[in-house]
Amino acid sequence: MSPFDQERLLFTPQPPDDDAIALIFAFPNDYTIGITSLGYQLVWASFALRSDVDVRRYFLDVQEPLPSAVELLGFSLSWELDYGNILTMLERLGIPLHAEARDNSHPLVFGGGPVLTANPEPFAAFFDVILLGDGEAVLDPFIAAYQAVRGCDRATQLRHLAQVPGLYIPSLYHVTYSDPDGPIVAIAPIDPDIPAVVTKQTYRSNTLSASTVVTENAAWENIYMVEVVRSCPEMCRFCLASYLTLPFRTADLTGSLIPAIEQGLQVTRRLGLLGASVTQHPEFSTLLDYLSRPAYADVRLSIASVRTNTVTEQLAQTLAARDTRSITIAVESGSERLREIINKKLTNSEIQQAAANAAAGGLKAIKFYGMVGLPGETAADVEATIAMAQALKKTAPRLRFTLGCSTFVPKAHTPFQWYGVNPDSQKRLKGLQKGLRSQGFDFRPESYNWSVIQALLARGDRRLTPLLELTRDYGDSVGSYKRAFKTLRGTLPPLTDTVHDTWERDRILPWHHLHGPLPLDTLKKHCAAAESLF
């Protein structure tokens, strides 16, 4: 049986008109992963609710019946390293990988999602159109603009789409470099009719998203997801999820959130509360009271990462009663000095109180998210994380503690975008592993080498395109990237420049012409505030 036949829809798709736009909406990974993406579900449903669009879904392993004459082909990119699957899927459809090689017989290839909104430049050659920002804000204008030039040639279509706020047409911008492997000198439109700057579009309603489909084939089986908040008010200086998605928005509790939950729980009894800072919803305690009612006693509740000082005994009790054994908290470091640098408003006493409340409320485990290599970090800060672990074991000896630890990767549109990956991070990961093992912590480090690759893609420019293609041919391993770099030496910036170096504040960044929620001068001020605490 096809996985599409096992889906339970929470909306009614509209039958397409006879002359509806033939659109394929793809996710560059397997169905079980793609269908678990709330963003993918939202965009697909938005298309399926339109009678002027005939949308078909396309995953790496399964697909709906695809139209023979496709007009638009879209990709939702949530993880940088999925880019290779985009190329594979284009090849399967017989579409040239590069936009410049396509003609009027090919569909316009568009993309969106957090990866492309942050820094699309390493992938720019593969897309005709990139949608910057929230789907709710850009999808309808995109389709309306396309309808207006539907019968025109490709060049006319692209020039028309470039006038729509949030629609970025990479081929209409020219990048100049000081040398083939030197820094960027300028990024400019190819003529004055094209906007010099493309600004991310923001959806500002207090009605947020919720699952449009529930299926046992999702990575989180039969889960119904509701977005409680969007963005995060904390604004940790490394955090893409906060800075790129500002402003902080909260779902209207009685007007949209509870009705959405009630709709979903008619289909499944597994509920996921999503958001970067779910427990900072101003009426979160009221939501907890609502979910604690006897009518929901059989509901299995999952919650995204929570703010430390909102972990109350009531929260722990509610989660424990709803078949949740653990919570996840991002602490980043055990060093209060370092947390002040990164604007993480959190004390060690609050972390210990959260652990005590979790244990008292009946939870069995806490998973912490940590990071090494943050700007301003010293070896003493790493030792402070080990000391924090020791204190937590004394505070809540029966809890099972896990520390998932990554290496700092600079992200576009954040105050730390100018900082590179600290080469000492690998050694510090090993030091944490050794120190935490003696404290009875389950330490789960992310690969330092893959963090280097993520940084390459996060801060890279268009010159990475041949590297990405060559790496894919070589086998998509860390070694393949190194081999490709040697092959292309002299045609792209050195790895140390893109990945490890701290860039000057006046450097033209690859995303210079793509504006996020905050002005560049504001990001510079936030970075300077952090540096004053080094």
Q: At what angle do helices 313-321 and 284-291 cross, to 10 degrees?
A: 30
Helix (H, G, I), strand (E, B) or coil at 335: coil
Please report, to the nearest 10 degrees, the dihedral formed by the alpha carbons of residues 448, 484, 466, 111 taken in order.
-30
The pLDDT tens digits of the residues spanning 96-115 come to: 999 999 999 999 999 999 99
The Cα 126–Cα 136 span in angstroms is 24
pLDDT of residue 437: 87
pLDDT of residue 192: 96
Q: Give 425: exposed, middle or buried? Use CB within 10 Å, 0-12, 13-18, 19+.
A: buried
Complete domains list, the chain, with CATH:
3-177 (3.40.50), 222-531 (3.80.30.20)
The Cα 160–Cα 194 span in angstroms is 9
Cβ atoms within 10 Å, residue 276: 23
- Write out the H or E segment, with its range, that includes residue 119: none
The Cα 155–Cα 146 span in angstroms is 12
Helix (H, G, I), strand (E, B) or coil at 378: coil
Q: Are 56 and 71 in contact (CB under 8 A)?
A: no
pLDDT of residue 107: 98
The 3-class secondary structure across 287-321, one letter per residue, is HHHHHCCHHHCCCEEEECCECHHHCCHHHHHHHHH
The Cα 269–Cα 296 span in angstroms is 8
The Cα 494–Cα 501 span in angstroms is 10
The pLDDT tens digits of the residues spanning 455-510 come to: 999 999 999 999 999 999 998 789 999 899 999 999 999 999 999 999 999 999 99
pLDDT of residue 277: 87
The Cα 114–Cα 414 span in angstroms is 14
| Cα 392 to the center of its chain, rounded Å | 30
pLDDT of residue 216: 97
Q: Which residues of the chain have pLDDT under 50?
A: none
pLDDT of residue 476: 77
pLDDT of residue 114: 92
Interacting residues of 369 by C-beta distance below 8 A, sequence separation 6+: 305, 328, 329, 330, 331, 332, 403, 404, 405, 406
Residue with structure tokens 């100018």?
A: 418
